[in-house]
Chains A and B, each alone.
Chain A
Amino acid sequence: MAYRYHEKEGDDEKMKKWLWCMILLVLLLYGCAQTNILERIGLTTLIGYDVGKEKKMQTTAVIREVNPEFQSKVDVITTEDNTSKGNRMEVNRRVSKKVMIGQMRVILFGEALAEEGLHYYIDASLENASVNNGVYTAIVKDQVAPLLEYDYQNIEDIGQHIYRLLEQNIQQEYMISSMLHEVGRDYYAVGRDMAMPIIEKEEELIKLSGIALFKDGKMVSTLPPPDSFYVKVIRDTFKSGIYETTLQSEDLPSILQKKTDDTMTVAFDAIRSKRTMTLVDAKNPEFDLTIKLKARVLEVSPSFDQSHRKSVEALEKAIQHKLTKELARVIAHSQKVESDVFGFGEEYRSHVRHAELTKEKWHSLYKNMKVNIHVDFVILRNGVFE
């Protein structure tokens, strides 16, 4: 309201109208949006799916609740119903607070369920806007429910614990990454299959016990944890990850051997790895797989003189050899179970025009695929004491 400089007549009237409108709205819309006040909801931090005994699915939810009496508590509730939403309702009937899944961090699947196929569960999770695409997925050996329901002595919040366990191992690149997004991507990709870590209960602890290989959303095989290094090396480029191997005496060059039947244990820490896949032959798929690894030797036993160039080179050679062998073994295993967790199929699809590739077609091709593995292993340095 400039005292004389009002260009438009009735500006004040308009302002008045405005104010009224806003006030009216505020009054009218009181309580319009549904609130989810943090401490009044039960936060599901982890959810596990199993095959149901009577109904289609059994879910076990780890719910964190905050109560004024005891600061916070963790409930593990197992229910059975036909849909995940139905299960949520079932859970709601058992807890005092509204159960929400927006803070979910981990989704676990029972082994039996995984063997039946996870398609439905992956779709349902991707579809739900409240579910973060960054949640971790994993397979539980046997059933999820017993693993979660067990009263661990040293684990207070099982949901948090499993999340930290997976997060820590995946971020350190000891384990293959299995975020929901990655799982969904691999599931819907033509030339790639999902892979997830497996966890199992070991008395009072929970441990990572391997990698589950999938074919078309169905779990078909497993690999032991040490093999996760090989799977990771072939799956993608990465930056760290400790690897330990025992070189058999036949692989060892004589320069490193003191006695002829000596084995040598080497632990190294891959600083950088780069893999390149090239399709050599499209008809009967044949790939050249080149892996360049730069590493830092952490431990060698028995120790040898690392200041000698020759012996270091010999060690590099030996490791190369060993790696090639192991990689070939892992690939062969995955071929046997027709699970392309490495993404050879994507490479094939992206380089063969009009391949009209489908998952089925690729799986039949994959079985007979040939891979030539070249490993280029370089020891950059060792520790500070030679």
Chain B
Amino acid sequence: MKIPPKEMFNAHLLFFVMHGAQIGVGVQGFQRIIYQDAHQDAWISVLLAGIATHIVTFFMIRTLEMYGSNDLYGIHQDIFGRWIGNVFNVIYVLYCFIAFFSVLRNYIEVIQAWIFPNIGEWFLASTLLLIIIYAFTAGLRVMVGVSFFSVILSLWLVLMLGFPLKFASVNNLLPILETDFRSILKGAHSMTFTIIGFEILMVIYPFVQDKKQVSKYAHLSLLATTTIYVAVMVVSLMYYSGGEIQRTVWATLTLFSFISFPFIERFEFIVVCFWMLIIIPNLCLYAWAAYRGTIRLINISSTKFIWLFALLIFLGTLVVQTRFQINGMDTKLSRAAFYIVFLYPILLWLIVIMRKKVMMKK
């Protein structure tokens, strides 16, 4: 598939795309899940998960480089042939669909829990979906732009992490490495749901203008994400005591609860709503990744696709209602994502390498 140069974007924007795709709903409350396993060493788990993303991305880029300007879907079709390749593509499209749904549903849950307990999820879903459709129909350039602004305009939230430090105690981090390594790894594994999103690289790669720079910016964005996650984790660990962090559902949001300015209090209300800007790139990019896969399977226009996609998601929000269902979905997605995002790219690289060797011999 040839990509017109008009749709391509500069490599440095890849930083914002990947970063924007990674940071989403997970970071609002990942602390308790990681803490369950890794206790005060949870930040090491986060760090390890971050390092894992670097490794996986390294292999992703290796694989993609071998194909030049083809995305994951193209690679599938090339390796496994049209039929089996398409089966893989369907799986990946489904994954994107569920990831999209999960992000949306989790955000709706946050809004309902914090601000509007009795607003219908169908309403929140439809408004968010309309925004996504509006961005999606404008094409990738706009979606990349949304990611860019999403990252830039949310930078101030990082500064807000300074406020909770007033109550921080370094003792909460000690003793370092008390938890055994297995548990820390388990904690890192629990990070999957929070840290995924960078797999968008597999689909967006052909659209990057300067392919040589991809690796630099991809890794930079992962580094930025990991830094932010570790910072949030460290601050949370220092701010909360152990038992409290395990019981706080959205620990990151609660961090902002006591912040007050002369003109405004209860900062988390602002933050919860502002988070919309943070999840929009998530949603856009997952929808777009699903679209790229779908057009390999069937001939569909982007407008038709996104309306259909939105309709399905919308119907989904009517089905998944309770916190249990959402948590169950998140765990399942997280488990699937671990294989799809973390293990599969390395496997794919091996297959591509093997295939290349076989071809060379021939």
Contacts and interface: CB of A to CB of B under 8 A. Distances in A.
Touch A–B, Cβ below 8 Å: yes
A25 B126 contact: yes
Given A181-B258, A189-B243, A190-B242, A350 B265 contact: no
A33 interface: yes
A185 B167 contact: yes
Given A14-B137, A14-B303, A126-B247, A134 B257 contact: yes
Contact of B118 (A34, A133, A134): A34
A351 B258 contact: no
Given A32-B120, A129-B113, A132-B266, A350 B171 contact: yes
A182 B114 contact: no
A29 B123 contact: yes
Contacts of B10: none
B116 interface: yes
Interface centre among A123, A189, A190 (most CB of B within 10 A): A189
Interface in B212-227: none
A188 B242 contact: yes
Contacts of B244: 126, 184-185, 187-189
Nearest to B257: A133
Contacts of B172: 346, 350
B114 A129 contact: yes
Contact of A132 (B130, B134, B265, B303): B265
Interface residues on B, range: 35 or more
B123 A32 contact: yes
Interface residues of A, number: 36
Contact of B257 (A132, A188, A346): A132
B260 interface: yes
A343 B241 CA distance: 12
Contacts, number: 82
A44 B134 CA distance: 42
A280 interface: no
Nearest to A18: B134
A185 B175 contact: no
B331 to A, nearest CB: 22
Contacts of A21: 130
Interface string B117-128: 111100100110
Interface of B: 113-114, 116-120, 123, 126-127, 130, 134, 137, 167, 169, 171-175, 178, 239-244, 247-248, 254, 257-258, 260, 265-266, 303
Given A14-B137, A189-B241, A192-B241, 17 more contacts: A18-B134, A25-B130, A29-B123, A33-B116, A33-B119, A123-B247, A126-B248, A129-B113, A181-B258, A188-B240, A188-B241, A189-B244, A349-B171, A350-B174, A351-B175, A352-B175, A353-B178
13 contacts: A33-B118, A126-B248, A132-B265, A132-B266, A133-B254, A181-B167, A181-B257, A185-B167, A185-B240, A185-B241, A347-B171, A350-B174, A351-B174
